Chain A
Amino acid sequence: MSDAARAIDGAALGATTAASVPRARVRREAATYASPYVAGVGIGLVLLLSFVLMGRGLGASGAFSSVVTAAVDAAAPSHAAGNAYYARYLGDGTVSPLRDWLVFEIIGVVIGGLASAVLAGRARWTTERGPRITNRRRLVNAFVGGAAMGLGARLARGCTSGLGLTGGATLSVGSWLFVLAAFAGAYAAAPFLRRAWR
């Protein structure tokens, strides 16, 4: 056994002995999260860098539109071309809708999120849910919630990243309205979803 493995072994042993749990296997303790203020400022600096380099902010939901357009175009090209919404993402048809700034940004988000989680010992194949519902229920909720957000985000032309962060920082009126409306909608729905989370 290497020194490093022995050290981890010892740490895990020490951590679990106090709780009197039999040591099943060596696993890194998940690190504590960073302060949300500090992480927020970090994101703010990334957002600012985006403005400085590109003259635009960050986003997310737009990438999903690109992916859906690419999929519809692959499955039914004439239907996609005839639809005014997809046509916007197809352009003149010479460039794939996936060759889009937001799509590449989201690829980066996946990489960065994974890297951070792995290094902090937080990467895990699991489902995050409240204690009173089943995994299956949680996955259904996630899907339905996601569908609602997909609709709402495209209707508003953005989400918490594109409108909330980018529009918020540039003082866009519609973005701030969106943020207020989103918080309102969430707090209105929350009491009905209490069982799912608490």
Chain B
Amino acid sequence: MAPFYEFGRFGDGTSLIVAILLGVAFGWFLERGGMGNARKLAGQFYFTDLSVLKLMFSAILTAMLGLFWLSWAGLLDLSRVYVPETFIVPQVAGGVVFGAGFAMGGLCPGTSCVAAATGRQDGLALVGGLLAGVFVYGEAFPLIQSFVDATARGAWTLPQALGLSYGTVVGMIVAAALGAFAGAEWLERRAERPAEPREAFQ
């Protein structure tokens, strides 16, 4: 029964090897999808190249559906799967700051490592920035700790919050993601169209 580590099938040492192997696969697919290239990533924010959205939500859908059906089949104990905890205000605030930084830097923490690994100096600079930012956070932590721990809701899930069944929420997210994909395709096609005639005369 999965998760195997949670059922004691292997120990901490092996789990670190598992971490490396999973990381290799993760890094491989990120690079394959072009996520190691900041220019390509930034296209997301100017509606020319929405690969970020397509890749992220394809990954989320795959894993989300996988979790649901493995649990349904009795192969995975969902109650032992780690659900990231909710801290409403810090996560919204952190999200906005993160997003602004993302637009500026063009890479996120994971993809910055891919970029740096493939020789991109901007990736290296971004990794440096991340370390600096984390350091500032660590130093400032004692002052902001009460804010950081505010509005905690524990392992709160969307089905619980919305009062809907797990499967319904899964279906909704699938529908929303597919709708977003359709929108993304439309936006990209629009971006590829030749310039409007009046622009040529400016």
Binding site for B on A (CB under 8 A): 33-58, 60-61, 63-65, 67-69, 71-72, 83-86, 99, 101-102, 104-117, 120, 122-130, 135, 138-190, 193-194, 196-198
Contact = CB atoms under 8 A, between A and B. Distances in A.
A160 B56 contact: yes
Contacts of B24: 108-109, 111-112, 115
Contacts of B127: 146
Interface of B: 2-6, 15-40, 42-46, 51-52, 54-64, 66-67, 70, 76, 80-88, 90-110, 112-123, 125-139, 141-142, 145, 148, 153, 155-161, 166, 169-170, 173, 181
- A-side binding surface: helix, strand, loop or mixed? helix
A188 B90 CA distance: 19
A61 B109 contact: yes
Contacts of A177: 86, 88, 91-92, 95
Contact of B95 (A37, A41, A179, A190): A179
Contact of A147 (B81, B117, B136): B136
A33 to B, nearest CB: 4
| From A110, A113, A164, residue with most partner B Cβ within 10 Å | A113
B135 A68 contact: yes
A147 B110 CA distance: 14
Given A150-B134, A185-B95, A171 B30 contact: no
Nearest to B36: A113
B39 A52 contact: no
Given A34-B32, A54-B18, A113-B30, A196 B116 contact: no
A100 B95 CA distance: 24
B102 to A, nearest CB: 5
B108 to A, nearest CB: 5
A83 to B, nearest CB: 6
Given A143-B128, A160-B108, A181 B92 contact: yes
